[in-house]
């Protein structure tokens, strides 16, 4: 599925300073019953966001109007658990294009990159600085610069480099995905398959 190109994103951010945010919190299993990729944003963080009678939980950050933006900032080990890509779809569909954490679970990171969300891994100290900057001013803006691989707290100018391999970077900046690449190398795959014992 095509996604918008990612180059430089300047936005305020939504803070979620909780560790081990797992994919069952991001999108509970009972909302995985669709056969199309539609409407997952409505159920993002469903059980943290809504009471059992579907009224919003006032103390949850997504229900607090002072926080907004296209960047979600989470605690360590964000996205652990299930392989459901629906978690990344829900985050994207809600309107986030970038998730910042000091540590990501592997499958979630892959899924995000595959659908056009940029996972930015920062040091624990820088993550702390971001949380503090948002705490002192909820409207504070971050700049995520993919070509330069930097994330900056604009109010203070504090900045950090982040890692991404050049293949994925190229894909995100151009809106390409792996399927395009694999389709172009099918002859090599066929040759490999010929010698496979399975």
φ, ψ of residue 29 to 5 degrees: the values are -55, -30
Q: CA 123 to CA 128: how far, in whole Å?
A: 9
Size of interface with another protein, in residues (CB under 8 A): 58
Taking CB under 8 A as the rule, does residue 101 contact another protein?
A: no
Taking CB under 8 A as the rule, does residue 154 contact another protein?
A: no
Taking CB under 8 A as the rule, does residue 187 contact another protein?
A: no
Q: CA 11 to CA 143: how far, in whole Å?
A: 7
| Interaction residues for another protein, span 64-93 (CB under 8 A) | 75-77, 80-86, 88
Sheet with strand 118-121: strands edge to edge: 118-121, 98-101, 71-74, 8-16, 141-145, 150-153, 158-161
Q: At what angle do helices 166-174 and 106-115 cross, to 10 degrees?
A: 40
Q: How far is the CB of 146 from another protein (least distance, A)?
A: 15
Of 94 and 103, the one with the shorter C-beta distance to another protein is 103
Taking CB under 8 A as the rule, does residue 57 contact another protein?
A: no
Q: CA 108 to CA 33: how far, in whole Å?
A: 19
Footprint of another protein on this chain (CB under 8 A)? 1, 17-20, 22, 24-25, 28-30, 32-37, 47, 52, 75-77, 80-86, 88, 103-107, 110-111, 114-115, 165-168, 177-179, 181-183, 185-186, 188-189, 192-193, 196-198
């Amino acid at each position: 599925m095509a996604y918008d190109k990612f180059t430089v994103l300047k936005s305020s951010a939504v803070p979620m300073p909780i560790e081990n945010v797992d994919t069952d919190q991001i999108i509970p299993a009972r909302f995985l019953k669709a056969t199309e990729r539609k409407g997952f944003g409505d159920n993002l963080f469903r059980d943290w966001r809504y009471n059992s009678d579907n009224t919003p939980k006032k103390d949850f950050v997504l229900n607090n109007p002072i926080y907004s933006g296209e960047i979600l900032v989470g605690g360590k080990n964000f996205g652990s658990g299930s392989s459901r890509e629906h978690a990344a779809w829900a985050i994207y569909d809600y309107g986030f294009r970038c998730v910042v954490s000091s540590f990501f679970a592997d499958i979630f990171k892959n899924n995000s990159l595959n659908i056009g969300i940029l996972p930015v891994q920062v040091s624990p100290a820088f993550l702390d600085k971001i949380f503090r900057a948002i705490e002192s001013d909820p409207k504070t803006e971050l700049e995520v610069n993919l070509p330069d691989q930097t994330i900056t707290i604009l109010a203070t100018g504090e900045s950090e480099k982040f890692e991404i391999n050049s293949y994925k970077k190229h894909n995100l900046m151009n809106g390409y995905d792996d399927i395009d690449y694999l389709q172009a190398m099918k002859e090599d795959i066929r040759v490999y398959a010929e010698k496979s014992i399975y």
